[in-house]
Amino acid sequence: MNINIESIKRSKELDKIARENAGFSAAVDLSSVIAERKQKILRHFNATEADWNNYHWQIKNRISSVHQLNSIFTLENDRFSAIENVSKKYRWGVSPYYLSLLDVNDTNDPIGLMVIPTISEMANNGELDPMHESNTNPAPLITRRYPDRVTINVTNMCGVYCRFCQRKRNIGETDYVCKEEYLREALKYIADHEYIKEVLVTGGDPLTLSDDKLEMILKGLRGIKHIEIIRIGSRIPITIPQRVDDKLISVLQKYHPLYVNLHFNHPREITEDSIAACNKLAGTGIPLGNQMVLLKKVNDDKHLVLDLNRNLLKCRVRPYYIFFAKNVKGATHFNCSIETGIDIIDFLQGNVSGLAIPTFVINAPKGLGKVPILRQNYIVNDEDDEVILTTWENKKVSFINPAIEL
């Protein structure tokens, strides 16, 4: 078989691009450092490996005071003061497991930036409720922005309290679980509106609930005849992967079709533990998607997102959305430009399988729903039906739009 010389030339061009992309990886082997941090945390709590693997222990022992954090990892004075000051205004908390993934005293650590308070949170710009959820809740726990689907907010509790959370206003000072009377009213609202076909169970994080409480919610939803799809939004497989145990799986698998949307933001969150949690969920037939939030200094890099999405596919998680960060009061320092997100999507196109390319979306103001953001990548010349396309390599190509025979 004769190989065309142009084929060889093109293959070499693609090899060069592949080498350049392969030169970046955020998933540096930090296993020994993480193991060392884990031991420090265990010693602080006088805890055992069995404790560490118990999700109840992880939730109960979330680190939420600067003094406690300082007793585990000695903080630099400026770091101590910043966390102490912000704590007076905003609650924070991080599971022991997730704390082991970050360097507390590195103010540029991307994992730390997501969960450890910084003085930037004291800025007064932004909105408490940028999604206007208070104006789109026709029943307790319910948010409705679309004709055929609603969210049901069942708790404010999370494995960690992300500093960029769109519901920062709901974190409060204590954890709560939805009252049964509110849940009944929410289920009645859904049952009374036959055009609602899909429900997203959210929070907080619904997987922090007990198995019994979670099953009560899922059973109630599945008992409504017109509900076709149930989704759960959760960061627990990333922040407390120990929660994904056999008992939880036995509950979830009763309520198919069930989807779980996860929230990985950085390749370093993909660990042996989080991979195991994802495999357990996927292994029971639950499709997994990922909703990344675009965050300045955390993941606003095209190579990093490429690395993240490739590794997500390996643990059976399909990149679903990249969210433009909402204008949340106390979190605006995470905001990037829209162009940053577009550039990332443009870079992914062609450099990685379509399976790894999510949709970049902005939530419209006042709770008007998600808007996909795409670069205008084609031009049409009306006079001669010429279509000019921009490829993933930013090359212009043209062809004549064929006439359609009716």
Span 219-225, average pLDDT: 98
Q: Read off the pLDDT band of 169 (50, 70, 90).
A: confident
- Indicate whether this model's pTM tops 0.85: yes
The two tokens of residue 57 are 């222990």
133-372: CATH homologous superfamily?
Aldolase class I (3.20.20.70)
Q: Residues 6 or more apart from 34 whose CB is under 8 A from it?
A: 100, 101, 271
In tens, the pLDDT along 274-283 reads 999 999 999 9
Total residues belonging to the chain: 406
Residue 205 has what pLDDT? 96
**Alpha-helical regions (H) of 46-135:** 49-52, 55-60, 66-72, 77-87, 96-99, 110-115
Strands of 396-400's sheet, edge to edge?
378-381, 386-390, 396-400
Structural domain spans, the chain? 31-108, 133-372, 376-406
Distance from C-alpha of 131 to C-alpha of 150, rounded to nearest angstrom: 14
Element (H, E) at 266: none
Q: Which of 154, 115, 138 is nearest to 189 (CA)?
A: 138
CB 375 within 8 A of CB 347: no
Span 252-281, average pLDDT: 97
The two tokens of residue 74 are 């000695």
Distance from C-alpha of 184 to C-alpha of 104, rounded to nearest angstrom: 43
Stretch among 174-188, 204-218, 230-244, 366-380 having the lowest mean pLDDT? 366-380
